[in-house]
Structure 1
Amino acid sequence: MLCCVNPDCQKPLNPDKNNYCHSCRAELIPLLGGRYRPTQVLSDEGGFGRTYLAEDVHKLNECCVVKQFAPKLQGTGPLTKATELFKQEASRLQELAEHPQIPTLLAYFEQNGYLFLVQQFINGQNLLKEWEKRGNYNETEIRELLLDLLPILKFIHVRGVIHRDIKPQNIIRRQNDGRLVLIDFGASKQLTATVQTKMGTVIGSHGYTALEQMQDGKAYPGSDLFSLGATSFHLLTGVRPSQLWIQQGYGWVASWRQHLVSSGRDEISVSIELGEIFDKLLQLDIQKRYQSADEVIADLTPGLPPLSPLPVTILTPTFSSAPANKGLVSPKQNNTLKSQLLLVSSILTLGLAGVWYFQTPRNEYSQPISQPIQPPKKPSENYFQPKPLKGHSSDVNSVAFSPDGTILGSASDDKTIKLWNLASKEEIHTLEGHSNWIWAIAFSSDSKTLASGSADKTIKLWNLETGKLIRTLEGNADGVTSLAFSSDGKTLASGTASKDMKIKLWNLETGKLIRTLEGHTSGVPSVAFSPDGKTLASGSWDKTIKLWNLDTGKEIRTLQGNENSILSVAFAPDGVTLASGSRDKIIKLWNLKTGKEIRTLRGHNDKVNSVAFVPGRSQNDLTVVSGSSDKTIKLWNPSTGREIRTLETGSGYIYAIAISPDGKTIAGGGSGENILKIWQTIQ
């Protein structure tokens, strides 16, 4: 379905084939900003626009959130001012999105007279829905909630931003790790307030919004803290502040304790300490209220020293799950430990947000080490800080090393390919010629030719020495999503997106099509040649992997077992083992002689976009590397299935990885501030 983006449309969902909305007759916009396909209305912004669920067609239909601002303003002056303010707010949101518990800003633009802002989609449930499903929180859970959210508020407040609308609906518990994410910073709400002040517009929600914000339209850090207190009250007691506000205005605030006991329910237990914190959070007079998130944290964790002087150390908190009657940890001690460790984790995460850094090294059995990172004792454990290579202006979708190990290539949404000298880390060439974003690149075995595949449905071949275009291969019905050269450098394989679904084999000397392999029922984002050049593996969005005999063009077998799309495939040097990465967050290892699954590697919290093998001195010395939208690169022992270590980026998805021929360098491409980077290793 395609969603009409007329903010006044009453029935916005339309069949894909429609050119005009069946309800309001407005012309439908298939792609916002040339890449975001609106599929569903998530919320209505009170006549000033809407929020949509959308698919990013540049990123294999990855979900995102599109916020529309459609101010009904008279004259060009106010609209020009609104556009300027929208851009300023988008810039501010981009800065805030460095925090891992704030959605990433993906884009902002103007189209058809509307303003749009695109943000990361958070897979999870908001706290209102969570409360409706599970019931009231206990005191321990409220403390953990506060200690998870307060560092986020500190982060935005020191940057001069007030959220203005904290309530259960605007807090999502992220499904993959259970952390709380603060959403809806409301560029549209702040902009609306700016351009509509004469109409008396107030940002906020009755019952959750502080008095000064409701009366004067002015908000301060303490205003957000009042809203956090009201939110916590709601989740603790089950009583909605909005209902109390309708009945008695702000009268409920002074007597909030009376709602700890309600008809038909047992008394809700709250400690004296937490009660006093609620008293101060819910003060009507802002001068008597907490003035900063740090003040609340200090009262929640009395006796703990300030954490800011501590060295920057990444900790992995481990909570005891042993029953209290085992004598290990009492309930009170365990709750305190949880709160303290959660606080340490939150503040350290806050301090490192937006910076590429390493997770504390883990051994092969993934036991956390809570000491500062020390210089490694073994050369094989030496992973230096990644070096960003700056030059692309948008996401990097593909990276590849030349077989001679001298050049790194990167392809981007900015329609360019860049070639980098691996020794000096300097840019050699920028290759331009595609008319749309570039999905894939691959080097020929003699390191003289580069192939690139694009959403413009073409493949281009480039001379690496001169940086000049050799020829363009055409004939695809959809964008080219994947490329691979045979080991002899004479054949190029290409995979295409969903409207084509075909794999093509090309003769590199003539540029002619050799044959077409058909069988997949959806797009093919990954193809790979076996080391002997006799077999091709293809991974598809149809959840299958197919193996093809290249002499006959016939399908050998289909590998099945994934619950979602296959995004990447890679052969091991022995040609018998295949690794695959999937949207279902797992890596599978396959025995190609039997067609059976060897093992499944689990540990990523989001889709696995890319997999590769690091060559070893022997077959038992191999390493599997995987890059994921969970913003990490993981290294695995394929013999045992154990995770060796995690390279954690801090911000930005990993869309593609590549390993240098000598196995000493890992390249990662993706989104974020440093969209292309390399890790040097010593083996």
Structure 2
Amino acid sequence: MICCLNPHCTQPNHATLSAACPTCGNPLERRLRGRYRPLKLIGRGGFGRTYFALDADRLNTRCVIKQFAPQTQGTKSFLKAVQLFEQEAVRLHELGEHPQIPTLLAYFEQNKYLYLVQQMIQGRTLYQEIAAQAAYSEGSLRQLLEDLLPVLHFIHQHGVIHRDITPSNIIRRKIDQKPVLIDFGVAKQFSEAIRYEPGTRIGTEGYAPIEQLRSGQAYPASDLYSLGATCLHLLTGCKPEDLYSPQEGRWLWQEHLQKQGRTIHPGLAVVLNCMTKDLVSERYQTAQDVLDDLQRLPKLEGAVPGWVSHQSDQSLFAGLDRPPISGPGQSAGLVMPTTALPSMAEPPSDASGPKSGPVSSRVSGQTSGKPASGPPKPVSNGPRPRPPTRPPISGVGWQSLATLKGHQSWVTALAFSTQQPVLVSGSLDDSVRIWNWQTGDLLHTLKGHARGVNAVAIDRRGQLLVSCGDDATVKVWHLSDGSLRHTLKGHLRDVNAIALGSGGNLVASASEDGTLKLWNLSQGTLLKTLPGSAGMLKTVALAEADQRIVSGGLDNTVRIWDAQSATTLRVLTGHTNTVNQVAVSPDGRLIASASKDRTVRLWNLAAGTLLHTLQGHTQEVNTVAFFPDGQRLVSGSSDGTLRFWSSQDGALKTTLSAHINPVHQVAVQEGGNVLATASADKTIKLWQWQG
């Protein structure tokens, strides 16, 4: 099958091997730029056509080709169209690093037409969703906002306004159900002073705000208006033009809901109304403002898998001392309690959203959630039961306890709490999840990172959770209620690792920008930056009462730093490839380093000498951890196995086939008899020693 690229052809789709189009007689272009094979026309407009194609250089990967072929040339409209098309290519190139924005693959001219090739997003647009099914529930709408607002925050941070957010320009990606923002053809930078000639419509009627339709001016608040109008369409099933009364000058969407016998939380109604104010000055000004107010609303239990309802005076850990899940067929992380939706009573005063316009000021990167008012509820000190996902295999050794499912991408980070039966995980799906590892229940999902999460850590008091990610930030959360306390900014690239100090108030972070940074945990302030001299850093640990910092990265070395003077004390050489992770033994004497060279090396921290090289993994070693007794350590590899070693002589004790896919992280619970492993298979597995 081949498609005719003549923009005037009335029937371009053909199942033919001929050299010319049977409809218009134009030669058929079998491969654009020698690699892109156009198969089917899938869209058309005033400026050109869109085709489904295969990329021969990428194993026939599916892609989308946009052809620029306006009907008029040489006019101001034509020149503006050229500018918009070229602008879309530039924007996609700049923004395509975000996982919810299509990646630009190519931009070129051929046969006097311009072509733009981009990643094909498989799925349905939200317009197709609403046409095929009932209107969105409140829970579905809130989830959509929580998924899309970080994308808007990202593009606005890059100085770009989308200008045409509609249900047709949002695709729900089939593979992970994430909404993807498409069609940046009318996007513009803040700094550009573009004025469109009269009659040129930018945006879509009903979704575009008045300032955009009248004068072509647009702001971040304009995108928020369009997203709000999109939400009203999805919530009611009615198009925006049918929800607004020009005579009264107000929205009637709540009346439409009442006619359907439906209501939503008053706080969410305030948020939607604030997004869709006529005056720019009365709207939210940033996507983060909207997200902050959404996160202050009570969570809807049962609306989204894994969400639990909690009021401002409730601890997240209430009920941790209840018995574990039991009964046939109930596996941890899969079966959640069935509960009714919370009542629609008036929300507490701090969760009601803006009263007469957008929030005027906020602490940057900080939500308004109530901090923990004391330590979490203690749990019994008696024997801790395990989730009976299946009977343990008889015999001595590491046996499977449970498999926790819920993350939508690779799980890359794990940390046990020393105070509660809590396990925290981080994933490339941009989320942090908090689990009760005894019962397998998902307690909370934290969504604050704009990109993948690389590491998590919990302070010794069990009160604060720290995470870092590819969005170049470190975030500090209250573990008890999941509220965000600080967002630490300063790194220029992905933050790959964090370490908490023994004193409880120090955080070290390691970044792809080659620097180490030390932060005050309680205040959220930067204390010191250690200059990068070793290239991209992958891992960091603290030792000797936080006076020493241990790091590793792409230069194949382990470095020991003096925290006070910010100088390198020793450079430990021996690895022949990237150092992925370092760990310091509980007594502070040993360093273990896991490397892409398939080995783990044990070093004397004080002397900087190599003690043992641990060999056996058949692929790169991604993670290593000491047991609490310091006599043993465990490593995890891309070969899917865990290997257990003696730290005294480096001897291999046993091997456990943990995952089919790579093991990215291993964590040891304080008692030393429970392990957690995180994998590229999107799961977390719990293991218990039987013997």
TM-score under structure 1 normalisation? 0.49
Asked which structure has the greater RCO (Cα within 8 Å, sep 6+), the reply is 1
- Whose helix proportion is higher, 1 or 2? 1
TM-score under structure 2 normalisation? 0.48
